[in-house]
Amino acid sequence: MATDKKPVSVLFVCLGNICRSTMAEGVFRSLTQNASHPLIAQIDSCGTGAYHVGSRPDSRTLMTLNAHGITDYTHKARKFAYPDDFHDFDYIFAMDKENLEDLEDLRERRAKELKGNEAAVANMGQVMLFGAFAGEGRKSKQGEVVRDPYYGGNDGFEKAYTQVKRFSENFLKHLEGDE
């Protein structure tokens, strides 16, 4: 695919960075051949909390990814890097409304710190629910949340996989202009 569009960087965010955001990162990496897609510059994931910093993804996340043929995903959990992640990523996707609210609060704080530097504020990454891409490649205001499967069984991880795969495919269609 030849394109004159600027490649974008994408950050997936959940609470602890071991279940949902890592699932989304692994799926998105597999769909973009680990960022060799011409419209993708960088892919990463993190958490709004520091609960699991340095940990590998939850074994059920890795098991679910493996069951779907994604066998080469590795990651060490990290916390959202304030303020750098706002400037390093074009799209910052929250998995649920609480994470979205936390990110929006941080983004607002950063914008206040940059008051008077409108260009820097304008270049900060977009913060939104990843589930804004729940249907047909169109961005919606509401969006679908990805429920945290951490305290549940394997079925929650499978549901998260199904959601993030659909969102990823729709987001790629959006980037490609095939809405």
Sketch the domain layout of the chain as residue ranges: 8-176
Among 14, 85, 102, 107, the one annotated catalytic: 14
Tell me, yes or no, if 148 is annotated catalytic.
yes
Tell me, yes or no, if 29 is annotated catalytic.
no
pLDDT tens, position by position, for the chain (179 residues)?
A: 555 789 999 999 999 999 999 999 999 999 998 778 999 999 999 999 999 999 999 999 999 999 999 999 999 999 999 999 999 999 999 999 999 999 999 999 999 999 999 999 999 999 999 999 998 645 556 789 999 999 999 999 999 999 999 999 999 999 998 65
Among 19, 20, 46, 85, the one annotated catalytic: 20
Note the pLDDT tens digit of each residue in 91-141: 999 999 999 999 999 999 999 999 999 999 999 999 999 999 998 645 556
Among 44, 58, 96, 148, the one annotated catalytic: 148
CA atoms of 53 and 76, how far apart (whole Å): 7
CATH number assigned to the domain with residue range 8-176, chosen from the 4 options 3.20.80.10, 3.30.1330.40, 3.30.70.20, 3.40.50.2300: 3.40.50.2300
Tell me, yes or no, if 96 is annotated catalytic.
no
